[in-house]
Homo-oligomer: A and B are copies of this chain.
Amino acid sequence: MATAERQTAAEGIRLTPVRRRALEILLESHRAMGACEVLERLSQDGFGNQPPVAYRALDFLVEHGLAHRIQRLNAYAACHAPGQPHAPVFLICRGCDKVAETGTDSLRGALDDLARASDFTIERMAVEALGLCPACRAAEDAS
C-alpha cells in the first residue's frame, strides 16, 4: 500500500479514495476477486453501487500495474511486486480458486526471445496456469 502511494505520487497520477479503497480490498483479501464482489465492498463504504464504479477503479489499478487481471476467472488481484517490470505467472488452483503469483527471469527471457524471433512487439503479457495446489492435490488423492 505504501509502495502504491509512493509510485502514484512519483508518476503524478491520482490515487483517489475509490481507487485506494479498491486496492485495499484486494490486498486485504489475499485472493482474486470478481468485480461485483469488489463493488459490493465499495458500496458498503459509501461509494456508488453500480458496475462502472468498480470496473473503473480496477481498470485504473491494472493500467498502472498495481493489480492484475486474471482472465480465466474474470477476477482481479493485487500485484505483489508493483513497480518493477515482471512477467507474472498465475498459478490458479481449480480446487480452491486461490491464485499464487510467481515469475522467473528465465521465463521472461524465453518470452523475450520469442518476441524477437516473431518480430512482435509485446506490451503486456500474462501466463495463467490451471491446476492443483499442494493442499487440493492431497485432498483429491485421498478420495
Q: Would A114 and B124 be within 8 Å (CB), given that A71-B72, A119-B134, A134-B119 are in contact? A: no
A64-91 vs B, Cβ < 8 Å mask (1 yes, 0 no): 0000000110000000000000000101
A123 to B140, CA, bound (A): 14
Q: Is A133 an interface residue (CB 8 A)?
A: yes
Q: Within the oligomer, what is the number of copies of this chain? A: 2
Question: Is B118 in contact with A102, judged by CB distance below 8 angstroms?
Answer: yes
Q: How many Å lie between the Cα of A120 and that of B129 in the bound state?
A: 10
Across the interface, name the chain B residue whose C-beta is closest to A125. B129
Q: Does A110 reach chain B (CB closer than 8 Å)?
A: yes
Q: Given the complex, which residues of B lie within 8 Å of A123, measured CB to CB?
A: 94, 130-132
A contact residues, total (Cβ < 8 Å): 36
Known: A106-B109, A119-B134. 20 other contacts (CB 8 A): A71-B72, A72-B126, A91-B120, A91-B122, A93-B120, A94-B123, A100-B120, A102-B114, A104-B113, A109-B110, A111-B127, A115-B131, A120-B129, A120-B133, A122-B131, A124-B131, A125-B128, A125-B129, A125-B130, A126-B127
Residue pairs across A and B with Cβ atoms less than 8 A apart, 13 shown, are: A71-B72, A91-B115, A102-B118, A104-B110, A104-B113, A104-B114, A120-B134, A122-B129, A123-B131, A125-B129, A125-B130, A126-B127, A126-B128
